[in-house]
Amino acid sequence: MIETRVAVVLGGSGGIGRAVAERLAGDGMSVMVHYAGNAARADEVVKAITSAGGSAAAARADIADPAQVEQLFTETEQQFGGVDVVVNTAGIMLLSPLTELSLDDFDTMHRTNVRGTFVVSQQAAQRLRRGGALINFSSTVVKLALENYTAYAATKGAVDAMTLILAKELRGRDVTVNAVAPGPTATPLFLDGKPQAVVDHLTAMSPLERLGRPEDIAETVAFLAGPARWVNGQIIYTNGGII
């Protein structure tokens, strides 16, 4: 009997996270859809998956709170029998020149993007079954070095470092650890507050002359979550050729 694989998708209630949850469910995995505050959106994702014949549930947690993240993983194990794939798409982006960004905004991003990734990675390292995969989320902006992205890029640089080192620390576990680094992708997180001229400029940067779509990113995640057992300790730039 082939055991159904189980995925936890952090930030799975919208944007890239929703596309990832639905893609992994379509690949036959049971999916725990994590959300931070919007239960209705998470329920919509669960309904979409189950209506298509998949298996899913939703659970809330503050990803920077170790006790809540531990409970999230416990609920997943109790409901689905284990954890095989962890995808941490949860993140926030606050843009400003370095000299104008408030330390409160910096700390807010750091708490979610860095501490949250650290806390989720700790639980994933303890809970993932053999043959499992942890997939963190970085950003192409770390290499692009765009103005106004200083603090956000710094948080994602920290994600890169954690990902590369944890892959080595899990030696002997048969668990892969990678990060996906999207380029400009048409999600509310990316589009919010940007003038159309900026969006047009970022669109034109890709040789494919379009923004990424959540489904493009989900395809890369599905590769890392399933067949890519020899890809480990890598940052996968999924950006249409911007860099």
Per-residue pLDDT of 80-108, as tens digits, reads 999 999 999 999 999 999 999 999 999 99
pLDDT at 243 over 50: yes
Per-residue pLDDT of 204-237, as tens digits, reads 999 999 999 999 999 999 999 999 999 999 999 9
Q: Which of 145, 65, 151, 156 is nearest to 114 (CA)?
A: 156
Contacts of 4 (CB under 8 A, 6+ apart): 28, 29, 30, 55, 80, 81
Per-residue pLDDT of 169-186, as tens digits, reads 999 999 999 999 999 999
Pairing of strands 55-60, 6-10: unpaired
* Greatest alpha-carbon span in the chain: 59
Q: Which of 36, 14, 34, 18 is nearest to 26 (CA)?
A: 18
In this prediction the pTM is 0.96
Any idea which residues carry the catalytic annotation? 152
Share of residues in the chain with pLDDT > 90 (%):
92
Query: Do 144 and 127 form a contact (C-beta atoms < 8 A)?
Result: no
Burial group, residue 159, by CB count within 10 angstroms (0-12, 13-18, 19+): buried
Task: Tokens for 70, please give them.
Answer: 């531990």
Which structural domains are found in the chain, ordered by start?
6-185+214-236 (3.40.50.720)
Per-residue pLDDT of 30-44, as tens digits, reads 999 999 999 999 999
